Structure 1
Amino acid sequence: MPTISGPRGRARRLFRLALALPLFLSLAGGAGAAPYLAVDLATGAVLAENQSFDPWYPASITKLMTVYVTLSAIKAGELKGDSGVVMTPASTREQPSKMGFKPGTVLTINTALRIIMVKSANDVSYALAERVGGGLPGFVARMNAAAARLGMTGTHFNNANGLPDPGQWTTARDYALLARALISEFPGYQELYRTTALSLGGKIIQNHNNLLERYPGSDGMKTGFICSSGFNVVATATRNGRRVLTIVLGGKTARERDELAANLLEASFRTPATAASVTLDRLTPRGPVATTVADMRDLACPKRKKGAKAPVGEDLGDGDDNQPASYLVPRFKVMDPIPISLGGASDMPDPVEPVVEAKADKPAVAVPLPLPKPAR
C-alpha cells in the first residue's frame, strides 16, 4: 500500500494517534481500557474510540435522557416550561445527590431541569419523571422508546436518575447518539448543559462538571457516578467554531475522568475531521464486545476504615485542584450563578393523595399535598 504524504498523510497520522492514545484505565477484574469516544459534532466523524459498545452503568448521565424525554414532551405540547412539578413522598425518599425538598414542594419544569443538570438531584429527577410520564413506569417507558428511536441498541433504563439498578445500562456509543440528538433537536436549551452554578435562597449550588471551569471552551454536558460505574462524563467543548463531543466511562476518580476527557478533547481538536475514516452512524465494534456490565465498585469505592464515610452519589469530592494537569487549567469563572426559585407554576398535575406509611398501632391515612401559592 503506498504511503500517503503531505497534509492528507499528516491528517491520517493524527487520526491514528488519536485512536491509539494511551489513555487507559483499570477495570474491575483486571486491567483494560475504559470505554471512550470522541466525535466531531458537525460531521459525525469519530476522532477517537475505544470499547464504545461495551455495556456500562450510566449513573447520573441517565439524566440526559430524562431531559430529552421532558423536552420532547414540551415540544409535543403536552407540557410547558412553567408547568408544575410536585415533590411527592416517593420522590423525596430517593438517595443523594438530592435537594432535600419536603413533600408538597412545587417547582416548575424549567427549574427542575436546571436542578437535575447542575445539582444532579435524584429526588427532583424522580418528581419530574412522575410529572411528565404520569408516574415513574410511564416515564421509563418513554425513555426506552426514545432510546430505541435514536438507535441506542445497547441501552436499557429502569429509572430516571441513574441510581444503582442492575437492569440499567448503556454504552459510550449510545450516549453519543443521545447527546447529539439533544444538541440538534433542542438548540434553544444549550444553557442547561453549561451552567456552572445556581442560587436558591442565598445558597449556591455548584455544578459537578469541573471541565466547565477547568478546560477552556468546555460547554457541557453531564457527569455521573455510582460505585459500580466509576466516574462517567459526557462532555462537549467548542474551539474556533468547531464543537467536539467526548464520552468517558469508568474513571476510578473524578480527577482521572476529567484528565481523560480533557486529553480526548485536546487530541480531537488537533485531529481534522477529514482524517476520520468512519462516522458515528457507521461506527461498528473494532473487537470483541463485553457481554456483561463492568463493575467498578472495588476500584472506585475501595474498602474504607471502620467509621469512614462512604462516597455518596455525585456529592463525592472532585479531587485536588493543586495537582499538576496536562490540559486542565486553574479554575476560572464562566458565569454568575443563575437564580432559581420555588413555586411559580402555571398549571398543576392532577391532585395526588399519597398514603403515609402506617405505624404499628395506627392505620394509614391519606394526606393531601399543599397547593402552591399563586405567582405574583
Structure 2
Amino acid sequence: MPAVRRRPAAVGATSLSIALAALALAGCADKAEDDAKGAVEVTATDSKCEVSKKEFAAGHVSFAVHNKGSKVTEVYVYGAGDRIVTERENIGPGTRATINAEVKAGDYEIACKPGMKGDGIRQKVSVTGKGAPKKTDPRLNKAVADYRTYTQSQADETIPVTQRFADAVKAGDVNKARSLYALSRIGWERTEPVAESFGDIDPKVDVREDGLEKGQDWTGWHRLEKSLWQAKKISADDKKLADTLMTDLKDWQKRVGKAEITPTSMANGAKELLDEVATGKVTGEEERYSHTDLVDFNANVEGAKKAYELLEPVASENNKALTATLDREFADIEKELAKYRKGDAYVSYDTVGKDKRKELSDAVNALAEPLSKLAAAVVVK
C-alpha cells in the first residue's frame, strides 16, 4: 500500500504563502520537555536522521525530536507498507518537538524529511513485546469509540450528497455540480484529523495536482474542481472520474469502522490538520479554482474540536490550564470564521484580502500551539 502523505504546498508559492508558513513555524514550534524520561530521541539535520534507540518496548512512546539542520523538517514513524503511525510536520531549524503515540510490537522506520520533501532519511527500529502493563481509562476507551462513531456518521452522510454531485457531473450540469461541490466535501474534511487511518484513500480523493507522486493518476475532488471552474465544462473523462470518486469514497465508508484510532492519534491528527490549514490551506491553494476554502476550514475546525471535546474530560483532569486555553482558542477561531458567513454559506475566499488571511492564520496558530500538548495530556499515568 502506498504511503499516505499530507498534500504539500504548491510549487512556486506566493510571498504570502511563505510569510504565513514562517509565522506558523514560529507560532507552532513545540517545546520538548527537557525531562522527557525514556523518550526516543530523534536528531534531524539536513543530511542525517539519528535515533537514540533502535529497539524499545511497545506501548506509549514519546519521540523527542531536535532539528539541528538549516531546513524545516518533518518526522514520520512508518509501519509496514509505509502506513503512517504518527507524524509531526513543520519542525523549524533549531527547534524541538515531542510526539506521543501508541506503538504496537513490530518493525518500523523513523523518517526525517529535511525541507519536508521526498521519502526522507530513514532509520529502522524494532518495537518489542507488550511493554509495561498498560493502564486504561474507560473514559478514553469511550472517547475512541465515540470518535469512531462520529467518523462513521460523517462518511455515511457524505455518500448521498457526493452521489448527487457525481450525478450532476455525469449529467454535464456544471452549475449544479458547482453548487454541490463544497457540500460534498464537508464530511471528509471533518474526519481529516485521522485521515491516515483510512489507508490510501486520501491521495485518491483529495490530492491536488502539485501533490501527485511520480506516476500517480490524478483523481478525486480537485481534478473535477479544475474542470468545473477553470475549464468550465465537463469532459467524458470527468464523468468517469465522478464514478471513480464514488467508488473510492464507498471504500472509505467501509474502512472507517475498522480504522486504527487511539487517543493520541486523535490529538496528534487534530494538531497536524491545523498546521496544514495554517501553512497551506489558508493561502487559498487547496480550493484554488472554486475558492470554497472557508467551508473546508470550518469543517476542519469542527473535526478537530470534536476530537478535543471527547478527550477533554481526561485532559482537563491532567492539565486544567491547557483545556481552559483550548476552550478559549476554539471559541476565538469560531468567532473569526463567523465573520465570513453569508447566510448558510461562506463568502468566496478570493474576496478575502491578505490582511484578513493573516488574521485567520494567526487564529489557527494560536489554537495549534496548545493543541500540540493535548496528546501528552491524555496519557494514562
The TM-score, its normalising length taken from structure 1, stands at 0.24
Greater helix content: 2
Higher RCO (CA-CA < 8 Å; seq separation 6+): 1
